[in-house]
Amino acid sequence: MEMQNLDKLVQFRHDIHQHPELGFCEHETSRKVQGYLDDLGIDYVSGIGKTGVVAWIKGTSEGSDRTVGLRADMDALPLEETSGVDYSSKNKGCMHACGHDGHTTMLLGAVEHFHANRDFAGTIYFVFQPAEEGVGGGKAMVDDGLFERFPMDEIYGLHNWPGLPVGTFGLIPGPLMASGDRIDVTIHGKGGHGGLNPHGCIDPVRIAADFINRAHTIISREVDPLNPAVLSICAIESGDISGFAVIPDTARMSGTLRSLDKDTRNVMVAALERLAKSLEAYYGCTIELQIEDKFDVTFNEAGATESATKVIRETFGGDALAEGHKPSMGGEDFSYMLAACPGAYVHVGAGDDEHTHGLHNPGYDFNDKIIPYGVQLLTGLALESLGKQNRNT
Distances (CA, A) of 345 to 50, 158, 191, 302: 23, 5, 50, 11
Pair 142, 281 in one domain:
no
Q: How far apart are CA 198 and CA 202, in angstroms?
A: 8
Same domain (yes/no): 305, 159: yes
Residue 20: inside a domain? yes
φ and ψ of 249, to 5 deg: -85, -30
Residues 283 and 222 occupy one common structural domain: yes
Q: Would you call 22 helix, strand, or coil by DSSP?
A: coil
Out of 73, 81, 132, 153, pick the active-site residue.
132
Domain endpoint, select from 272, 295, 318 = 295
Asked, for residue 134, whether it belongs to a domain, the answer is: yes
Q: In a 3-state reduction of DSSP, which class is residue 123?
A: strand
Last residue of a domain, one of 280, 295, 310: 295
Residue 319 lies in a domain: yes
For residue 370, the domain's CATH number is 3.40.630.10
Task: Determine whether 132 is an active site residue.
Answer: yes
Distances in whole angstroms, Cα of residue 253 to Cα of each of 47, 190, 212, 246: 35, 17, 9, 19
Looking at the fold, whether 306 and 291 belong to one and the same domain comes out as no
- What is the rounded CA–CA span in Å between residue 325 and residue 161? 12
Look up residue 48 and give its DSSP letter. E
CATH of the domain at 278: 3.30.70.360
Beta bridge partners of 321: 169
pLDDT score recorded for residue 320: 98
Q: Which of 21, 26, 73, 75 is catalytic?
A: 75
Same domain, 42 and 162: yes
Task: Decide: 334 and 151 in contact? Cβ < 8 Å.
Answer: no
Same domain, 284 and 163: no
Residue 109 and residue 374 in contact, taking contact as beta carbons nearer than 8 Å: yes
Looking at the structure, do residues 115 and 244 belong to the same domain, yes or no?
Answer: no
Q: State the greatest distance between any 2 C-alpha atoms of the chain, in Å, as a whole number.
A: 85
3-state secondary structure of 321: strand
Q: Give the residue from 366, 342, 345, 343 showing the smallest Cα distance to 354.
A: 366
Return phi, psi of residue 252, to 5°. Answer: -125, 145
The residues near 15 (Cβ < 8 Å, ≥ 6 apart) are: 32, 87
Contact at 8 Å (CB) between 202 and 284?
A: yes
Residue 4 confidence (pLDDT):
81
Active site residue 62: no
Which range marks the domain in which residue 352 is found? 6-173+301-392
The residue type of 233 is I
First-last CA distance in the chain:
35
Q: Are residues 225 and 198 in the same domain?
A: yes
What b/e string do you get for 289-324 counting C-beta neighbours within 10 Å, with b at 16 or more?
Answer: bebeebbbbbbbbebbbbbbbebbeebbeeebbbee
Sign of CA dihedral 14, 20, 26, 28: negative
Ranges of residues in the chain with a pLDDT under 70 are 1-2, 389-393
Going by their DSSP bridges, the two strands 169-170 and 154-165 should be labelled as: unpaired
Cα gap 80→262, rounded to integer Å: 35
Q: What's the whole-model pTM score?
A: 0.94
51 phi, psi to nearest 5 deg: -115, 10
- Residue 161, judged by CB atoms within 10 A of its CB (0-12, 13-18, 19+), counts as buried
In a domain, 388, yes or no: yes
355 and 385, same domain (yes or no): yes
Question: Residue 210: inside a domain, yes or no?
Answer: yes
Question: Which pLDDT value is given to residue 355?
Answer: 94
- Give CA separation, 35 vs 39, 147, 237, 315, 342, in Å: 6, 24, 44, 30, 30
The count of domains in the chain is: 2
- Tell whether 57 and 42 lie within a shared domain: yes
Residue 1: inside a domain: no
Question: Is 291 among the domain residues?
Answer: yes
Q: How far apart are CA 90 and CA 351, in angstroms?
A: 25
Out of 268, 295, 322, pick the residue that ends a domain. Answer: 295
CA gap 311, 66 in Å, rounded: 19
Check whether residue 226 and residue 319 sit in a common domain: no
Q: Has residue 200 been placed in a domain?
A: yes
| Whether residue 260 sits in one domain with residue 153 | no
∠ CA 388-103-66, nearest 5°, is 25
